[in-house]
A and B are shown apart, each in its own frame.
Chain A
């Protein structure tokens, strides 16, 4: 890893934290508020690729666990990680990695639509696959019930994936970082 790689990993972890400053907002016909910070996760993968993106989120999650209040709503600490929604936070590490893996593989054919798909696979499906069973175990819920309860977040998550794809495509045109 070069100095520049280390700098990118660190700055995108800081960027994800800084997204906590943007208040969650409500979109029409979408039941749950949209949290900008989750877009940061997809951006790290889309812009930095698998290894650097995943590492970036690993640093972020480690700092949250160490007690820095970096999550939207100024939450942080080991309790958040071990709590019922901890799986969603931990899943950000593989989520950024998976988005980045697809982006690297399809770098030369990347467009808004396939990037949207990759963001949904990594940034939504991976997050649910880890987050929902975690919730079910910690809260003693049946898996199906936990899944049903999480469906209200799906429309918002797809919007986030679209925003991340649009932003990452603009960055790719002016500042390609994966196969530079």
Chain B
């Protein structure tokens, strides 16, 4: 509901999230190293094939790209007038490849799978005092509270609209903040009542001292 994930059974959907994220990471770096119009055109054809294989509905893909497209046009025009159209085409194609690749990963991977990958990737950071289980608990809490806070914000917006205050940022933010601060107290109590113990992970370089 909250995520952009589109369920499906293609090999891209089933591929491990770690692999997809790694390819995206390497791919995005490579794009800046090798930049030419024929290469990007070939990449576009390849990505179009992947989108076809993933059987993603056009609607979701287009919706994801629409806002980016609005940016691509001025970037292209900028180059046409200031530098030259070849560089403009190359730049726009490169951004397009990058965006399509990222959209493909976003639409075919469940956020929970990506959280698991992040938790695994963050494990080595334990040595500098980062606690991966705490981090993933906080991520879960954010996902839990976003829909609630959005509904709250919606109600505030409607209430202030009725009073003609919906153009007043302070009148919108203040009630939302008060709600947040009150909720924070209740929630901390509830978490501790259920036996949660935020035992600190002591960084190794501090243990020695």
Contacts and interface: CB of A to CB of B under 8 A. Distances in A.
Interface of A: 1-4, 6-15, 17-22, 25, 34, 36, 39, 43, 47, 55, 59-60, 62-63, 66-70, 73, 75-85, 137-142, 145, 160, 163, 166-167, 170-171, 175
B138 A171 contact: no
Contact of A171 (B78, B79, B90, B181): B181
Given A4-B185, A47-B177, A68-B111, 14 more contacts: A11-B145, A18-B149, A66-B111, A67-B111, A69-B2, A78-B103, A78-B105, A78-B106, A79-B64, A79-B99, A81-B102, A82-B102, A83-B98, A140-B83
- B90, B114, B169: most-surrounded residue (chain A CB, <10 A): B169
B142 A84 contact: no
Main secondary structure of the interface of B (DSSP, over half): helix
Interface of B: 2-5, 24, 28, 32, 64-65, 67-68, 71, 75, 78-79, 82-83, 87-88, 90-91, 95, 98-100, 102-103, 105-107, 109, 111, 114-115, 118, 134, 137-139, 141-143, 145-146, 148-150, 152-154, 157, 167, 169-170, 172-174, 176-177, 180-181, 183-185, 187-188, 191-192, 196, 198, 200
Main secondary structure of the interface of A (DSSP, over half): helix
Contacts of A2: 188, 198
A70 B188 CA distance: 25
Contacts of B154: 21
A22 B137 contact: no
Given A11-B145, A67-B114, A69-B4, A79 B102 contact: yes
Contacts of B149: 11, 14-15, 17-18
Given A18-B176, A166-B170, A1 B134 contact: yes
Contacts of B114: 66-67
